[in-house]
Each structure stands twice: as structure tokens, then as C-alpha cells.
Amino acid sequence: MRRFWLALLLLSTLCAGQVLAAGEGKTSAVAQDKAHALEQKAAAGSTAPPPRSGAITPSEVQAVDPKGAAALDDAITCLARSIYWEAKGGTAADMEAVANVVMNRVGHEGFPDTVCKVVKQGVEEKTCQFSWWCDGRSDQVVEDERYTIAKEIARKALNQQLRDRTHGALYFHDRNVSPGWAKKYIKTTETGKFLFYKPRGGDAR
């Protein structure tokens, strides 16, 4: 009889886990669908927040890429990983500003029209716009708490709920380096970790 109850408990636990996983998978899919629609609006130049039904919720965004190891093939994962790897050691302002640059590029005719294409731009020529994407290192998340923050910032950015603290910047660099290209652009602002720029005349190069 004891073995029967133990087997029943094990089966119940297994079923509950499967139901939970299925629920998380459905929530993740909903979030990804919303993110796709939102990045399309951003690419078309819209900066208006979506209606409540079309906005990604905090619980939905956290259901996406829960282990920080998923393939980079959806807007939330691509944006959150970029925020994480570019600025996980910085402040919230640093992380938000990175998100601003990605979204500014999505909405600019001189750049690709999806978040993932923006993040991966230049990989074929090995001149990645975002260095973490082609530095040869693993892209798997190693700090869960910082990634949770990155995903929440990505959610707000896609929902058009994040103010552009970069004032339209399309480029940035760490303040500890001085790249030659920076002299060709207008500095728009700076955060504790980064300096931000936009082209003179508004044309991307």
C-alpha cells in the first residue's frame, strides 16, 4: 500500500510539472506574438504605447527564455540578451539606454527592421554592431537576477513605455575607450558606463 501511495504521489508531481511547463510555454508564445507585433509598429515609426490587450505583461515577459539559454530568434530574447550582455554590470540607466539604442535602430530606415536583425547586424562581415554577439563566447546567461531585470526593461522598451534617455542615439561605446568613429557624430548624452551618439543630419552610416 505504501508503494502505491508513493507511486501516486510521484505521478501527481510529474503531471503537475507538465501542466506548469505547458502553461509557461503558452504564456511565452503569447509574449512573443505580442513582441512581434510591437516591433513591427516600431519599425513603422510608431512610438505610441499599445492598448492594454496588446502590451506585454511582466509575467509574460519572464516566461520567455526562463533559463537564459534559448536561441536568439524572437524580439524579447534578442533585446533582453543585448541589454544583459552590454550592460549587466551597469546601472538601470545604462541598461535602459542600451534598449533605447536598439529600438531607435529598429525605427530608423538605415537599420534592419527587427530587433534580432539589429542585434546580429554585421555578423557576416565579423563587424558586429553589438560586440557580444560575435565575441566567440557563450551567450548563455550566468546571472539570473540581472537577466530578470533585463527582460523587464526589454518589455517596457517594446511596449513603448520606456523614455528615450539617449535622445535618439543610434550608437554608443564604453566610456573607457575612444573610438575614432565617435568624432563623426553628435554626442547626445552619457550614462555612468556609456557615451551615446547620433549622426549629423540623421543619416545612419
pLDDT digits (tens, 9 = 90+) for 117-153: 999 997 766 678 888 887 778 889 999 999 999 999 9
Find, among 141, 153, 142, 144, the residue nearest to 92 by Cα: 153
Report phi then psi at 173, rounded to 5.
-150, 160
Helix (H, G, I), strand (E, B) or coil at 198: strand
Q: Grid coordinates standing for 68?
A: 537564459
In angstroms, what CA-CA distances link 27 with 54, 79, 134, 157, 158?
A: 14, 18, 30, 19, 17
**pTM of the predicted structure, to 2 decimals:** 0.86
Does 203 score more than 70 pLDDT? no
In angstroms, what CA-CA distances link 39 with 47, 74, 110, 183?
A: 10, 10, 16, 31
Helix (H, G, I), strand (E, B) or coil at 195: strand
pLDDT digits (tens, 9 = 90+) for 52-91: 999 999 999 999 999 999 999 999 999 999 999 999 999 9
